């Protein structure tokens, strides 16, 4: 067999030059990154890298969360941070800095990006230290923050509705579903499987045959007699968005648009018989599902409650001062 091209050995300058060359077009969506390993914020995408010996990379021993940046404000940052800290505790990852400092680093990174809209994702890892399994080798937890453009879903998903399929990918065991860890293999596979079937996303069914959640979003239903139903949160991720939506939906009960709101098990059969099915999360907001497997949901068109809840969400992002944290632009 002819010898393949020789693998180059790189000196430091050449390696850094190659890192620059490796920056691809999509990196235009990456605005700023904080790394506790580097000890600060960078805006050059060539430097937005992680050490391979970080346990997040080679063992998945890390947790993360994502909040949205809208109109220069971080929406529900403290609720997302609270879940992040809960995940860290469940994964036994100590904080590298006090909670208030983690929050300030997130705000400073957002401010450095100069962006008024986008996504803010942050990770806490057992940290660098070696390639073993036990985090006892780690020199200390690492913390990373990324400000990026985030996925914008096409308007047609809201006006025409989404198609979902029942996933054959096994749902995570309840403990692992409740920790927002970096182990998202099942979540990636549920989307892949759905796309292969010509659908937009998949639905995880739990160990007892009940509706669980979707890839990175929660699933709710509106019954034919106008009840809002959502599965309990003991074996799925407690979505920050859906918790807020369940709260905002009380206004629709007051107006008589909804009869009631109940968090309860939803069987696949009950779900399929619903008048409306909704996908809810920080990235998708509130989107109507019009087809589940081969069957239409309701009349096969986006329903009124999905639209009203999406409108309430937009209003909340725009004006709910107790849910918004100002980014300190110009102060970093």
CB of 60 to ligand PLP, least distance (A): 15
Q: Give the residue with the Cβ less far from ligand PLP, 45 or 61.
A: 61
Among 89, 79, 192, smallest CA distance to 141 is for 89
CB of 105 to ligand PLP, least distance (A): 20
Burial of 122 (0-12, 13-18, 19+ CB in 10 A): buried
Instruction: Please give the C-alpha separations between residue 218 and each of 92, 97, 128, 212, 308, in angstroms, as whole numbers.
Output: 26, 31, 33, 8, 17
Q: Which residue has the tokens 């971080």?
A: 74
Among 6, 26, 172, 180, the one annotated catalytic: 180
Q: What distance lies between CA 286 and its chain's CA centroid?
A: 14
CB of 285 to ligand PLP, least distance (A): 9
Rg (CA), the chain: 22
Half-sphere exposure of 272 (CA within 13 A, CB side): 10
Q: Give the residue with the Cβ less far from ligand PLP, 138 or 325.
A: 325
Q: Give the residue with the Cβ less far from ligand PLP, 113 or 216.
A: 216
Where does this chain bind ligand PLP (CB under 6 A)?
Answer: 187, 213, 216-218, 237, 239-242, 281-282
Q: Give the residue with the Cβ less far from ligand PLP, 138 or 206.
A: 206
CB of 282 to ligand PLP, least distance (A): 3
CA distance 53 to 38: 14
- Asked about 180 being catalytic, the answer comes back as yes
Neighbour order of strands in the sheet with 62-70: 40-42, 30-35, 142-148, 118-125, 62-70, 73-75, 324-326
Q: Give the residue with the Cβ less far from ligand PLP, 211 or 242.
A: 242
Q: Fill in the DSSP letter of residue 134.
A: S
CA distance 237 to 168: 19
Query: What DSSP string describes 54-65?
Result: SHHHHT--EEEE
Among 163, 40, 23, smallest CA distance to 109 is for 40
Q: Strand, coil or helix: what is 211?
A: strand
Locate 155 and state its tokens: 């308007």
Going 24 to 56 to 121 to 288, the CA torsion angle's sign is: positive
Q: Fill in the DSSP letter of residue 171.
A: P
CB of 31 to ligand PLP, least distance (A): 20
CB of 116 to ligand PLP, least distance (A): 20
Q: Give the residue with the Cβ less far from ligand PLP, 56 or 242.
A: 242
- As annotated, the active-site residues are 180
């Amino acid at each position: 067999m002819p010898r393949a091209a020789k693998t180059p050995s790189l000196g430091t300058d050449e390696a850094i030059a190659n890192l620059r060359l490796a920056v691809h077009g999509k990196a235009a969506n990456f605005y700023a990154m904080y790394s506790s390993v580097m000890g600060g914020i960078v805006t050059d995408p060539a430097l937005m890298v992680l050490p391979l010996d970080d346990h997040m990379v080679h063992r998945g021993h890390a947790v993360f969360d994502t909040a949205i940046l809208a109109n220069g404000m971080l929406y529900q940052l403290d609720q997302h941070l609270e879940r992040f800290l809960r995940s860290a505790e469940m994964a036994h990852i100590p904080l590298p800095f006090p909670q208030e400092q983690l929050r300030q680093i997130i705000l400073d990174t957002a401010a450095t990006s100069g962006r008024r809209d986008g996504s803010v994702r942050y990770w806490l890892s057992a940290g660098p230290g070696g390639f073993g399994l036990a985090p006892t080798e780690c020199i200390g937890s690492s913390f990373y923050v990324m400000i990026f453009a985030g996925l914008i879903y096409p308007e047609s998903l809201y006006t025409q509705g989404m198609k979902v399929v029942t996933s054959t990918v096994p749902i995570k065991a309840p403990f692992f579903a409740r920790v927002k860890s970096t182990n998202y293999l099942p979540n990636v596979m549920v989307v892949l499987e759905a796309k292969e079937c010509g659908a937009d996303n998949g639905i995880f069914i739990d160990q007892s045959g009940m509706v669980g959640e979707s890839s990175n979003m929660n699933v709710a239903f509106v019954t034919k007699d106008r009840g809002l139903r959502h599965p309990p949160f003991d074996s799925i991720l407690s979505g920050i968005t859906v918790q807020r939506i369940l709260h905002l939906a009380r206004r629709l009960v007051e107006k008589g648009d909804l009869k009631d709101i109940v968090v309860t098990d939803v069987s696949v059969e009950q779900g399929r018989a619903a008048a409306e099915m909704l996908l809810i999360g920080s990235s998708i907001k509130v989107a109507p599902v019009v087809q589940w497997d081969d069957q239409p949901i309701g009349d096969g068109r986006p329903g009124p409650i999905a639209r009203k809840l999406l409108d309430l969400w937009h209003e909340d992002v725009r004006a709910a001062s107790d849910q918004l944290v100002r980014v300190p632009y110009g102060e970093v």
